[in-house]
Structure 1
Amino acid sequence: MYPMPVQRWRPIPRAIYRVSLPFALLLWLVPLLAVLVTSVRSSDELLAGDYWGWPKHFALVANYGTALTQTPMLHYFWNSCAITLPAVAVSIFLASMAGHALANYRFRGNAALLGLFVAGNFVPIQILMIPVRELMASLNLYNTVGALIVFHAAFQTGFCTLFLRNFIRELPYELIEAARIEGASEWAIYMRVVLPLVRPALAALAILVFTFVWNDYFWALCLTQGDDAAPITVGVAALKGQWTTAWNLVSAGSVLAALPSVAMFFAMQKHFVAGLTFGATKG
Structure 2
Amino acid sequence: MIDTAPAPATARTESAPPRKRRIRPGRLGVHAFLMTVSLAFLAPLLLAVYASLRPYDETSQHGYFSLPKKLSFDYYQQAFSDSGMTKYFINTLIIAVPGVIVTLFFASFVAFAVARLNMRGSIVLLMLFTAGNLLPQQVIVTPLYVMFNRIPLPYWMSDSMTMFDSYWAVVSVQVGFQIGFCVFVLANFMRTLPKEILEAAIVDGASVWTQYWRVTLPLCRPALAALGTLQFTWMYNDFLWALVFISDGDKLPITSALNNLRGQFFTDYNLLAAGSVIVALPTLIVFLLLQRHFIAGLTLGSSKG
Q: TM-score, normalised by structure 2?
A: 0.82
Q: What is the percent sequence identity of the aligned residues?
A: 41
How far apart are residue 47 of structure 1 and its match? Answer: 5.1
- Pick from 159, 168, 173 the counterpart of residue 181 of structure 2: 159
Deviation at 1:70, TM superposition (A): 2.4
Report Cα offsets for 1:122-159 as digits up to 9, x if no partner. 11112122122222222222222222111112211111
8 A contact 1:39–1:252 mirrored in 2: yes
2:200 maps to 178
Helix, strand or coil at the partner of 2:127: helix
CA contact 1:200–1:274 (8 Å) conserved in 2: yes
1:202 to 2:215 alignment: no
- The residue type paired with residue 46 of structure 2 is L
Using a 3 Å threshold, how does the CA distance of structure 1 residues 17 and 168 change in structure 2: closer, same or farther? Answer: closer
- What is the deviation of 1:261? 0.8
| Letter aligned with residue 176 of structure 2 | A
Equivalences for residues 129-168 of structure 1 within 5 A = 129-139=141-151, 140-168=162-190
Contact 2:95 2:171 in 1 (8 A): yes
Q: Is the Cα contact below 8 Å between 1:143 and 1:228 reproduced in 2?
A: no
Q: Which aligned pairs between 1:99-138 and structure 2 lie closer than 5 A?
A: 99-138=111-150
CA contact (8 A) 2:82 2:261 kept: no
Per the alignment, residue 75 of structure 2 pairs with 63
- 1:143 counterpart letter in structure 2: D
Offset from partner CA, 1:186-211 (integer Å, 9 cap, x none): 11111110011111111111111111
1:7-156 pair list within 5 angstroms = 22-46=35-59, 48=61, 50-60=63-73, 62-139=74-151, 140-156=162-178
Structure 1 CA distance for aligned equivalents of residues 229 and 67 of structure 2: 34
Q: CA RMSD in A?
A: 2.3
How far apart, CA to CA, are the structure 1 residues paired with 2:34 and 2:129? 37
Structure 2 residue aligned with 1:247:
269
State the Cα distance separating 1:162 from its structure 2 match. 0.8
Q: 1:146 to 1:239 in 2, by over 3 A?
A: farther
Q: Is the deviation greater in 258-267 or in 83-92?
A: 258-267
Q: What residue ranges of structure 1 are gaps of 5+ in the alignment? A: 1-6
Per mean C-alpha deviation after superposition, the further-off stretch among 198-207 and 135-144 is 135-144
Give the letter for the 1:223 counterpart: F
Mark the CA change 1:221 to 1:55 in structure 2 (over 3 Å): closer, same or farther: farther
Contact 1:203/1:272 (8 A) holds in 2: yes
Matches of 1:70 and 1:96, distance apart in 2 = 41
Q: Distance in 1 between matches of 2:178 and 2:31?
A: 38
Change (3 A) 1:182 1:24: closer
Structure 2 residues without counterparts, runs of 5 or longer: 1-21, 152-161
Q: Is the 8 A contact 2:102 2:175 kept in 1?
A: yes
Judging changes above 3 Å, is the alpha-carbon distance between structure 1 residues 183 and 26 closer, same or farther for their aligned structure 2 residues? Answer: closer
Matched, 1:263 2:276: no
Q: Structure 1 stretch 22-31 or stretch 189-198: which is displaced more?
A: 22-31
Aligned residues: 274
Q: Is the contact made by 2:82 and 2:260 (CA closer than 8 Å) also made in structure 1?
A: no
